[in-house]
Homo-oligomer: A and B are copies of this chain.
Amino acid sequence: MIIDCHGHYTTEPKALHDYRKCQIAGLTDPAQAPSKASLKISDDQIREGLEGAQLKLQRERGTDLTIFSPRASGMGHHIGNAATSEEWSRISNDLIHRACTLYPRNFVGVCQLPQSPGVRPSNCVAELERCVKELGFIGCNLNPDPSGGYWTDPPFTDKWWYPLYEKMVELDVPAMVHVSSSCNPNFHFTGAHYINADTTAFMQFITSDLFKDFPTLRMIIPHGGGAVPYHWGRYRGLAQDLGRPPLKEFLLKNVFFDTCVYHLPGIELLLKVIPADNILFASEMVGAVRGIDPETGYPYDHTKRYIDAIDWLSVADREKIFHGNVKKVFSRFAAQDTTR
Protein backbone atom coordinates (compact mmCIF):
# COMPACT_ATOMS: atom_id res chain seq x y z
CA MET A 1 0.00 0.00 0.00
CA ILE A 2 1.24 3.47 -0.90
CA ILE A 3 -0.02 6.47 1.02
CA ASP A 4 0.61 10.02 -0.15
CA CYS A 5 0.66 12.07 3.05
CA HIS A 6 0.44 15.47 1.35
CA GLY A 7 -2.38 16.28 -1.06
CA HIS A 8 -4.48 19.43 -1.27
CA TYR A 9 -7.91 19.87 -2.78
CA THR A 10 -6.77 22.02 -5.69
CA THR A 11 -9.58 21.05 -8.04
CA GLU A 12 -12.44 22.46 -6.05
CA PRO A 13 -15.77 23.20 -7.75
CA LYS A 14 -16.05 26.74 -9.09
CA ALA A 15 -18.86 27.48 -6.64
CA LEU A 16 -16.36 27.34 -3.78
CA HIS A 17 -14.12 29.97 -5.37
CA ASP A 18 -17.17 32.15 -6.09
CA TYR A 19 -18.22 31.90 -2.47
CA ARG A 20 -14.77 32.91 -1.26
CA LYS A 21 -14.72 35.89 -3.63
CA CYS A 22 -18.02 37.07 -2.18
CA GLN A 23 -16.79 36.44 1.35
CA ILE A 24 -13.75 38.66 0.68
CA ALA A 25 -15.85 41.31 -1.06
CA GLY A 26 -18.14 41.25 1.98
CA LEU A 27 -15.27 42.37 4.19
CA THR A 28 -15.46 45.84 2.69
CA ASP A 29 -19.05 45.77 1.44
CA PRO A 30 -21.29 43.75 3.78
CA ALA A 31 -24.01 43.67 1.13
CA GLN A 32 -21.86 41.23 -0.84
CA ALA A 33 -21.28 38.79 2.05
CA PRO A 34 -22.76 35.44 1.02
CA SER A 35 -25.08 33.34 3.14
CA LYS A 36 -23.86 29.83 3.89
CA ALA A 37 -27.02 28.51 2.30
CA SER A 38 -25.99 30.07 -1.01
CA LEU A 39 -23.07 27.64 -1.38
CA LYS A 40 -24.42 24.71 -3.34
CA ILE A 41 -22.06 21.97 -4.48
CA SER A 42 -23.37 18.63 -5.69
CA ASP A 43 -21.67 15.29 -5.16
CA ASP A 44 -21.26 15.05 -8.92
CA GLN A 45 -19.35 18.33 -8.99
CA ILE A 46 -17.00 16.98 -6.35
CA ARG A 47 -16.58 13.71 -8.27
CA GLU A 48 -15.92 15.60 -11.48
CA GLY A 49 -13.08 17.61 -9.98
CA LEU A 50 -11.41 14.59 -8.43
CA GLU A 51 -11.95 11.89 -11.07
CA GLY A 52 -9.94 13.57 -13.81
CA ALA A 53 -7.16 14.73 -11.51
CA GLN A 54 -6.19 13.23 -8.12
CA LEU A 55 -7.96 9.90 -8.68
CA LYS A 56 -6.65 9.55 -12.22
CA LEU A 57 -3.12 10.27 -11.03
CA GLN A 58 -3.42 7.84 -8.11
CA ARG A 59 -4.31 5.11 -10.61
CA GLU A 60 -1.63 6.08 -13.14
CA ARG A 61 1.11 6.32 -10.55
CA GLY A 62 0.09 3.34 -8.46
CA THR A 63 -0.54 5.19 -5.23
CA ASP A 64 -3.51 4.12 -3.15
CA LEU A 65 -4.57 6.82 -0.78
CA THR A 66 -3.97 10.52 -0.22
CA ILE A 67 -4.07 12.36 3.09
CA PHE A 68 -6.14 15.24 1.87
CA SER A 69 -6.54 18.81 3.06
CA PRO A 70 -7.86 22.11 1.70
CA ARG A 71 -5.78 24.00 -0.84
CA ALA A 72 -2.86 25.43 1.16
CA SER A 73 -2.59 28.71 -0.70
CA GLY A 74 -6.36 29.06 -0.36
CA MET A 75 -6.30 29.10 3.45
CA GLY A 76 -5.45 32.83 3.26
CA HIS A 77 -5.23 33.31 7.01
CA HIS A 78 -4.17 36.92 6.49
CA ILE A 79 -7.49 37.80 4.85
CA GLY A 80 -10.13 39.40 7.05
CA ASN A 81 -10.21 38.46 10.71
CA ALA A 82 -10.68 35.42 12.92
CA ALA A 83 -14.38 35.20 12.07
CA THR A 84 -13.59 35.24 8.33
CA SER A 85 -11.03 32.51 8.87
CA GLU A 86 -13.38 30.43 10.97
CA GLU A 87 -16.19 30.52 8.45
CA TRP A 88 -13.85 29.74 5.58
CA SER A 89 -12.11 26.92 7.47
CA ARG A 90 -15.39 25.21 8.34
CA ILE A 91 -16.57 25.36 4.75
CA SER A 92 -13.23 24.12 3.40
CA ASN A 93 -13.00 21.31 5.93
CA ASP A 94 -16.59 20.24 5.32
CA LEU A 95 -15.82 19.93 1.64
CA ILE A 96 -12.80 17.74 2.38
CA HIS A 97 -15.09 15.60 4.50
CA ARG A 98 -17.48 15.20 1.60
CA ALA A 99 -14.65 14.17 -0.74
CA CYS A 100 -13.42 11.64 1.83
CA THR A 101 -16.95 10.31 2.31
CA LEU A 102 -17.42 9.88 -1.44
CA TYR A 103 -14.05 8.13 -1.80
CA PRO A 104 -13.25 6.53 1.56
CA ARG A 105 -10.59 4.26 0.04
CA ASN A 106 -8.81 7.15 -1.69
CA PHE A 107 -8.81 10.03 0.76
CA VAL A 108 -8.44 10.64 4.48
CA GLY A 109 -8.95 14.16 5.79
CA VAL A 110 -6.61 16.69 7.36
CA CYS A 111 -7.99 20.08 8.33
CA GLN A 112 -7.16 23.71 7.84
CA LEU A 113 -7.30 25.77 11.05
CA PRO A 114 -9.03 29.13 11.54
CA GLN A 115 -5.76 30.96 12.24
CA SER A 116 -5.62 34.72 12.00
CA PRO A 117 -2.60 37.03 12.51
CA GLY A 118 -2.35 38.34 16.04
CA VAL A 119 -5.06 35.97 17.29
CA ARG A 120 -4.12 33.32 19.86
CA PRO A 121 -4.08 29.84 18.30
CA SER A 122 -6.33 28.63 21.11
CA ASN A 123 -9.07 29.85 18.78
CA CYS A 124 -8.29 26.79 16.61
CA VAL A 125 -9.01 24.19 19.28
CA ALA A 126 -12.75 23.87 18.62
CA GLU A 127 -12.39 23.42 14.86
CA LEU A 128 -9.60 20.89 15.29
CA GLU A 129 -11.74 18.93 17.72
CA ARG A 130 -14.76 19.08 15.41
CA CYS A 131 -12.73 17.86 12.44
CA VAL A 132 -11.13 14.99 14.34
CA LYS A 133 -14.11 13.85 16.41
CA GLU A 134 -16.99 14.57 14.04
CA LEU A 135 -15.41 14.37 10.59
CA GLY A 136 -12.84 11.64 11.25
CA PHE A 137 -9.84 13.76 10.26
CA ILE A 138 -6.41 12.54 11.32
CA GLY A 139 -4.30 15.72 11.47
CA CYS A 140 -4.10 19.43 10.73
CA ASN A 141 -2.09 21.87 8.69
CA LEU A 142 -0.51 24.49 10.91
CA ASN A 143 0.62 27.84 9.50
CA PRO A 144 3.71 29.31 11.22
CA ASP A 145 3.02 32.69 9.60
CA PRO A 146 -0.68 33.62 9.46
CA SER A 147 0.34 37.11 8.28
CA GLY A 148 1.18 35.73 4.83
CA GLY A 149 4.83 36.70 4.58
CA TYR A 150 5.53 39.31 7.27
CA TRP A 151 6.11 36.86 10.11
CA THR A 152 4.54 39.02 12.79
CA ASP A 153 3.29 36.25 15.11
CA PRO A 154 5.48 34.49 17.70
CA PRO A 155 7.59 31.48 16.69
CA PHE A 156 6.17 27.96 16.92
CA THR A 157 8.13 27.44 20.10
CA ASP A 158 6.41 30.25 22.00
CA LYS A 159 3.80 29.44 24.65
CA TRP A 160 1.37 31.37 22.41
CA TRP A 161 0.88 28.06 20.55
CA TYR A 162 0.70 25.73 23.55
CA PRO A 163 -3.10 25.45 23.97
CA LEU A 164 -3.31 24.14 20.42
CA TYR A 165 -0.45 21.70 21.00
CA GLU A 166 -2.21 20.47 24.13
CA LYS A 167 -5.29 19.67 22.08
CA MET A 168 -3.18 18.00 19.35
CA VAL A 169 -1.56 15.79 21.98
CA GLU A 170 -4.92 14.99 23.59
CA LEU A 171 -6.41 14.05 20.21
CA ASP A 172 -3.16 12.35 19.18
CA VAL A 173 -2.94 14.10 15.81
CA PRO A 174 0.12 15.54 14.08
CA ALA A 175 0.46 18.84 12.24
CA MET A 176 1.99 19.48 8.88
CA VAL A 177 3.85 22.81 8.96
CA HIS A 178 2.30 24.64 6.02
CA VAL A 179 2.05 28.33 5.24
CA SER A 180 -0.57 29.71 2.89
CA SER A 181 -0.26 32.27 0.13
CA SER A 182 2.07 35.22 0.44
CA CYS A 183 0.88 38.82 0.37
CA ASN A 184 4.51 39.97 0.60
CA PRO A 185 5.87 40.75 -2.89
CA ASN A 186 9.26 39.42 -1.81
CA PHE A 187 8.01 35.85 -1.55
CA HIS A 188 6.64 33.77 -4.36
CA PHE A 189 4.27 31.43 -2.55
CA THR A 190 5.31 27.97 -3.75
CA GLY A 191 8.85 28.98 -4.75
CA ALA A 192 9.96 30.88 -1.66
CA HIS A 193 7.37 31.23 1.13
CA TYR A 194 6.61 27.50 1.45
CA ILE A 195 10.25 26.43 1.45
CA ASN A 196 11.33 29.22 3.80
CA ALA A 197 8.64 28.31 6.31
CA ASP A 198 9.80 24.69 6.35
CA THR A 199 13.39 25.72 7.01
CA THR A 200 12.36 28.29 9.60
CA ALA A 201 10.23 25.87 11.63
CA PHE A 202 13.04 23.32 11.85
CA MET A 203 15.48 25.92 13.14
CA GLN A 204 12.89 27.07 15.69
CA PHE A 205 12.72 23.49 16.94
CA ILE A 206 16.52 23.36 17.30
CA THR A 207 16.59 26.44 19.49
CA SER A 208 13.80 25.38 21.85
CA ASP A 209 12.64 22.71 24.27
CA LEU A 210 9.25 22.35 22.63
CA PHE A 211 9.43 18.57 22.46
CA LYS A 212 10.57 18.35 26.05
CA ASP A 213 7.29 20.09 26.92
CA PHE A 214 5.32 17.93 24.46
CA PRO A 215 7.16 14.61 24.09
CA THR A 216 4.44 13.09 21.88
CA LEU A 217 3.81 16.12 19.66
CA ARG A 218 4.52 15.30 16.03
CA MET A 219 5.30 17.76 13.24
CA ILE A 220 5.74 16.97 9.56
CA ILE A 221 7.90 19.39 7.60
CA PRO A 222 6.76 19.20 3.99
CA HIS A 223 8.55 19.89 0.71
CA GLY A 224 11.32 17.55 1.72
CA GLY A 225 12.02 19.61 4.84
CA GLY A 226 12.67 22.88 2.97
CA ALA A 227 16.43 23.44 2.91
CA VAL A 228 17.13 21.26 5.94
CA PRO A 229 18.37 17.95 4.51
CA TYR A 230 20.57 19.75 1.95
CA HIS A 231 22.13 21.68 4.84
CA TRP A 232 22.05 18.80 7.32
CA GLY A 233 25.71 19.40 8.19
CA ARG A 234 24.94 23.05 8.91
CA TYR A 235 22.03 22.11 11.21
CA ARG A 236 24.01 19.43 13.00
CA GLY A 237 26.80 21.95 13.46
CA LEU A 238 24.54 24.78 14.59
CA ALA A 239 22.86 22.48 17.13
CA GLN A 240 26.29 21.44 18.39
CA ASP A 241 27.56 25.04 18.64
CA LEU A 242 24.37 25.94 20.55
CA GLY A 243 24.92 23.13 23.03
CA ARG A 244 21.89 21.13 21.87
CA PRO A 245 21.92 17.31 21.70
CA PRO A 246 22.71 15.57 18.39
CA LEU A 247 19.77 16.19 16.05
CA LYS A 248 18.78 12.58 15.61
CA GLU A 249 18.13 12.01 19.29
CA PHE A 250 16.98 15.57 19.93
CA LEU A 251 14.34 16.11 17.21
CA LEU A 252 13.74 12.99 15.17
CA LYS A 253 11.27 11.44 17.58
CA ASN A 254 8.97 14.35 16.81
CA VAL A 255 9.88 15.78 13.42
CA PHE A 256 9.24 14.11 10.07
CA PHE A 257 9.87 15.06 6.45
CA ASP A 258 7.83 14.37 3.35
CA THR A 259 9.19 13.50 -0.11
CA CYS A 260 7.91 16.49 -2.09
CA VAL A 261 11.24 17.01 -3.83
CA TYR A 262 10.88 17.06 -7.58
CA HIS A 263 14.04 15.49 -8.97
CA LEU A 264 16.04 12.35 -8.33
CA PRO A 265 19.23 13.93 -6.88
CA GLY A 266 17.14 15.72 -4.24
CA ILE A 267 15.32 12.55 -3.20
CA GLU A 268 18.65 10.69 -3.11
CA LEU A 269 20.06 13.27 -0.73
CA LEU A 270 16.96 13.19 1.47
CA LEU A 271 17.10 9.41 1.78
CA LYS A 272 20.85 9.51 2.39
CA VAL A 273 20.86 11.95 5.30
CA ILE A 274 17.47 11.54 7.01
CA PRO A 275 16.67 8.16 8.60
CA ALA A 276 13.91 6.22 6.78
CA ASP A 277 11.94 6.25 10.04
CA ASN A 278 11.45 9.99 9.57
CA ILE A 279 10.40 10.14 5.92
CA LEU A 280 6.81 9.97 4.67
CA PHE A 281 5.96 9.51 1.03
CA ALA A 282 4.24 12.50 -0.60
CA SER A 283 3.86 14.19 -3.95
CA GLU A 284 1.54 17.17 -3.29
CA MET A 285 -0.23 16.36 -6.52
CA VAL A 286 -2.12 18.19 -7.94
CA GLY A 287 -0.01 20.98 -6.57
CA ALA A 288 2.82 23.42 -6.95
CA VAL A 289 4.47 22.00 -10.06
CA ARG A 290 2.28 20.52 -12.77
CA GLY A 291 4.46 20.17 -15.85
CA ILE A 292 6.34 17.32 -17.47
CA ASP A 293 10.09 17.34 -16.89
CA PRO A 294 11.63 17.35 -20.39
CA GLU A 295 14.70 15.62 -18.97
CA THR A 296 12.69 12.53 -17.92
CA GLY A 297 9.42 12.71 -19.86
CA TYR A 298 7.48 12.33 -16.58
CA PRO A 299 5.75 14.86 -14.32
CA TYR A 300 8.12 16.63 -11.95
CA ASP A 301 5.85 15.75 -9.03
CA HIS A 302 5.75 12.02 -9.79
CA THR A 303 7.93 11.47 -6.72
CA LYS A 304 7.27 7.74 -6.51
CA ARG A 305 9.48 7.27 -9.58
CA TYR A 306 12.46 8.83 -7.83
CA ILE A 307 12.08 6.60 -4.80
CA ASP A 308 11.60 3.55 -7.02
CA ALA A 309 14.85 4.45 -8.81
CA ILE A 310 16.97 4.27 -5.66
CA ASP A 311 18.31 0.75 -5.74
CA TRP A 312 20.15 0.92 -2.43
CA LEU A 313 16.95 1.53 -0.47
CA SER A 314 16.04 -1.61 1.49
CA VAL A 315 12.60 -3.18 1.19
CA ALA A 316 11.96 -2.49 4.86
CA ASP A 317 12.86 1.20 4.52
CA ARG A 318 10.79 1.55 1.36
CA GLU A 319 7.76 0.17 3.18
CA LYS A 320 8.28 2.57 6.07
CA ILE A 321 8.39 5.50 3.66
CA PHE A 322 5.42 4.36 1.58
CA HIS A 323 3.08 3.50 4.43
CA GLY A 324 4.60 2.29 7.69
CA ASN A 325 5.57 5.72 9.00
CA VAL A 326 2.19 7.21 8.12
CA LYS A 327 0.51 4.80 10.48
CA LYS A 328 2.97 5.81 13.19
CA VAL A 329 2.77 9.57 12.69
CA PHE A 330 -0.95 9.75 11.93
CA SER A 331 -1.88 7.32 14.68
CA ARG A 332 -5.60 7.90 14.12
CA PHE A 333 -5.20 6.58 10.62
CA ALA A 334 -4.17 3.19 11.92
CA ALA A 335 -6.93 3.21 14.51
CA GLN A 336 -9.54 4.24 12.01
CA ASP A 337 -9.39 1.35 9.59
CA THR A 338 -7.31 -1.70 10.27
CA THR A 339 -8.15 -3.22 6.89
CA ARG A 340 -6.07 -0.57 5.16
**Residues of A near any B CB (own CB < 8 A):** 144-145, 149-155, 158, 184-188, 190-192, 195-196, 199-200, 203-204, 206-207, 223-224, 226-227, 229-238, 240-241, 261-266, 268-269, 272-273, 288-291, 293, 300-301
A269 to B272, CA, bound (A): 11
- What's the nearest-Cβ distance from chain B to residue A181, in Å? 14
- Indicate if the CB atoms of B192 and A200 lie closer than 8 Å: yes
User: Shortest CB–CB separation between residue A238 and chain B, in angstroms?
Assistant: 5
Q: Tell me the smallest distance from the CB of A215 to a CB of chain B, in Å.
A: 23
Q: A196-B199, A269-B265, A269-B266 known; A300 and B234 CB under 8 Å?
A: yes
Kindly state the separation between the CA atoms of A242 and B266 in the bound complex, as whole angstroms: 22
Known: A150-B150, A192-B203. A238 touches B288 (CB 8 A): yes
Contacting residues, chain B, for A190 (C-beta < 8 A): 234, 238
- Taken together as a complex, chains A and B put the C-alpha atoms of A101 and B299 apart, in Å, by 54
CA distance A114 to B203 in the complex (A): 29
In chain B, what residue has the closest Cβ to A267?
A: B233
**A263 / chain B contacts, CB cutoff of 8 Å:** 232-234, 236, 273
A151 touches B150 (CB 8 A): yes
| Chain B residues whose C-beta falls within 8 Å of the C-beta of A235 in the assembled complex | 191
A230, B199: Cα distance in complex, Å? 13
A145 to B232, CA, bound (A): 25
